């Protein structure tokens, strides 16, 4: 952290609720007023709320809500998921850390959570916008004893668990767009990226990356995302506790995961279909090489989307962007 930032934060700490003028801060720190202003803007971007009053100056009215592993653990109702949490302030991608940790044989259910990702990974080689203190950026390590081909089922299971957690924490009713986008009012609030690490035909680990837009305001999203993305806070009209949502997700995920290991995919598939926005509708599936239009008939037991085009031909879609 820069010397100016440290002195600025010290000054605000000592001032409590008293306003400090730009000139006072500049003199105290020994820098220009422009430098003070620049650092104040940086703090705002990090989630600090600073009140500015003409002829008085600035004061801190709210600090960013950090998620701490202790805060999540308090009240956690699981035996496996989230019992072991790695919390990072800033990382390239939680997926990368999860992969390294999974090679060190950390227990199943280990979760890596970061306040910010500098190169968050999305599906289909896209990036995932992961600004500081606003969302939930986490990766979950699983080691199920299932055949490789069944791994995509866990992505669908994750989507159902997120829907249940959002319902519980917000009272809103999200929809799932195949394969794993969670929508509120037609806009994406959550993305899931599943990465599989296997040797021969044995799963070493499945890393489920989850990005939930929680407390962003619309202007926090890059302009090109503003039409299609949203956050829980925007849709609910109030800020949410990220730690509470994480705990709720762990609880719902564990419940569904145990059900899955005992009874297989069928009960999960029913739950998934109950929340799916796309089934029965005419969709456009944009794959890396092709665009297929047709009616979504459902998903297979492996989570593959079944589309019937206008000639009656049945397509199996393994990976695509869907336009409803």
Q: Which residues bind ligand BTN (CB under 6 A)?
A: 93-95, 117, 120-123, 126, 128, 130, 137-139, 181, 191-193, 209-211
Tokens of 276: 């799916």
For residue 279, which phi and psi values (nearest 5 degrees)?
A: -70, 135
Taking the complex as a whole, how short is the minimal distance between the CB of residue 58 and ligand BTN, in angstroms?
33
Q: For ligand BTN, which residue has the nearest CB?
A: 191
How far is Cα 154 from Cα 175, in angstroms, rounded to an integer?
17
Nearer to ligand BTN, 36 or 161 (CB): 161
Spatial separation of the C-alpha atoms in residues 138 and 164, rounded to whole Å: 17
Q: Which is nearer to ligand BTN, 26 or 225 (CB)?
A: 225
User: 25 Cβ partners below 8 Å, 6+ apart?
Assistant: 8, 11, 33, 36, 57, 58
Of the pair 113, 234, the CB lying nearest ligand BTN is at 113
- What's the closest the beta carbon of residue 209 comes to ligand BTN, in angstroms? 3
CA distance 87 to 70: 10
State which residue, 138 or 299, has the beta carbon closest to ligand BTN.
138
User: What is the smallest separation between the CB atom of 119 and ligand BTN, expressed in angstroms?
Assistant: 7
Rounded to an integer, what distance in angstroms lies between the CA atom of residue 267 and that of residue 275?
A: 13
Give the integer Cα–Cα distance in Å for 24 and 193: 48
Q: Which is nearer to ligand BTN, 137 or 260 (CB)?
A: 137
Rounded Cα–Cα distance for residues 311 and 324 (Å): 19
Q: Which residues pair with 205 in a beta bridge?
A: 197
Instruction: Name which of 22 and 122 has its Cβ closer to ligand BTN.
Output: 122
Radius of gyration from C-alpha coordinates of the chain: 22
Compute the least distance from the CB of residue 179 to ligand BTN, in Å: 9
- The answer to whether 263 is a known ligand-binding residue is no
| Alpha carbon distance 141, 207 (integer Å) | 5
Q: Output the smallest distance, CB 53 to ligand BTN, in A.
A: 38
Residue 95 marked ligand-binding? no
List the structure tokens of 44: 């705002």
For the bound state, the minimum distance from the C-beta of residue 246 to ligand BTN, rounded and expressed in Å, comes to 12
**Residues placed in the known binding site:** 117, 188
């Amino acid at each position: 952290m820069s010397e100016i930032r440290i002195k600025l934060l010290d000054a605000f700490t000592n001032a409590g609720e008293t306003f400090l003028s730009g000139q006072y801060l500049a003199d105290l720190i020994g820098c220009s007023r422009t430098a003070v202003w620049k650092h104040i803007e940086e703090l705002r971007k990090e989630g600090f709320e600073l009140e500015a009053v003409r002829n008085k100056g600035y004061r801190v009215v709210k600090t960013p809500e950090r998620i701490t592993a202790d805060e999540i653990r308090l009240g956690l109702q699981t035996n496996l998921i989230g019992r072991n949490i790695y919390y990072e302030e800033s990382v390239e991608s939680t997926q990368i850390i999860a992969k390294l940790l999974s090679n060190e044989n950390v227990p199943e259910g280990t979760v890596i959570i970061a306040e910010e990702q500098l190169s968050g990974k999305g599906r289909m080689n896209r990036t995932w916008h992961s600004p500081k203190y606003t969302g939930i950026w986490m990766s979950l390590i699983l080691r199920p004893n299932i055949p490789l081909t069944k791994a995509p089922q866990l992505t669908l299971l994750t989507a159902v668990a997120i829907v249940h957690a959002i319902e519980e924490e917000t009272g809103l009713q999200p929809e799932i767009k195949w394969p794993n986008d969670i929508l509120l009012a037609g806009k994406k609030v959550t993305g899931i990226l599943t990465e599989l690490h296997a040797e021969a035909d044995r799963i070493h680990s499945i890393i489920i990356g989850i990005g939930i837009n929680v407390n962003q305001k619309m202007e926090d999203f890059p302009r090109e995302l503003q039409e299609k993305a949203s956050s829980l806070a925007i849709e609910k009209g109030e800020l949410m506790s990220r730690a509470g949502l994480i705990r709720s997700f762990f609880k719902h995920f564990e419940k569904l995961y145990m059900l899955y290991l005992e009874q297989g995919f069928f009960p999960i598939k029913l739950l998934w279909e109950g929340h799916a926005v796309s089934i029965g509708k005419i969709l456009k599936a944009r794959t890396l090489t092709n665009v297929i239009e047709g009616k979504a008939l459902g998903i297979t037991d492996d989570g593959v989307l079944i589309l019937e085009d206008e000639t009656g031909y049945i397509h199996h879609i393994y990976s695509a962007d869907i336009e409803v």
